[in-house]
């Protein structure tokens, strides 16, 4: 699991609205840049979560917001679906 020390270099995402946490330096998992996502996944132990790989996934249809930010949960769901489809599972 990523520690706050692992994530120290990840700049905070802008607030997404009135319900967004006001904690200084907080990373919004529903609005990550590709760079933030790559650092977060790498800090969490992912071996192939490079910016280049994530950009290829976005080009292949991984969901993003209009501003290009990635929702961590939506991205992971998309990735699981892609892996299951590649393996022939539903």
Collapsing DSSP to helix, strand or coil, 32 comes out as strand
Helices (H), 23-66: 34-43, 51-59
- Spans of all domains in the chain: 1-90
Tokens standing for residue 74: 């939506």
Its sign, for the CA torsion 88, 52, 38, 29, is: negative
How far apart, in whole angstroms, are the C-alpha atoms of residue 53 and residue 47? 11
Give the chain's radius of gyration (CA, Å).
14
Tell me: the pLDDT tens digits for 19-63? 455 566 788 999 999 999 999 999 999 998 999 999 999 999 999
The predicted structure's pLDDT at residue 41:
96
């Amino acid at each position: 699991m990523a520690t706050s020390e692992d994530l120290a270099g990840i700049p905070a995402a802008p607030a997404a609205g009135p319900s967004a946490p006001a904690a200084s330096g907080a990373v919004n998992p529903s609005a990550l840049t590709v760079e933030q996502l790559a650092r977060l996944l790498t800090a969490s132990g992912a071996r192939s979560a490079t910016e280049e790989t994530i950009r290829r996934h976005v080009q292949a249809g991984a969901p993003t917001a209009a501003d290009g930010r990635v929702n961590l949960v939506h991205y992971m769901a998309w990735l699981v679906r892609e892996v299951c489809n590649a393996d022939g599972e539903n």
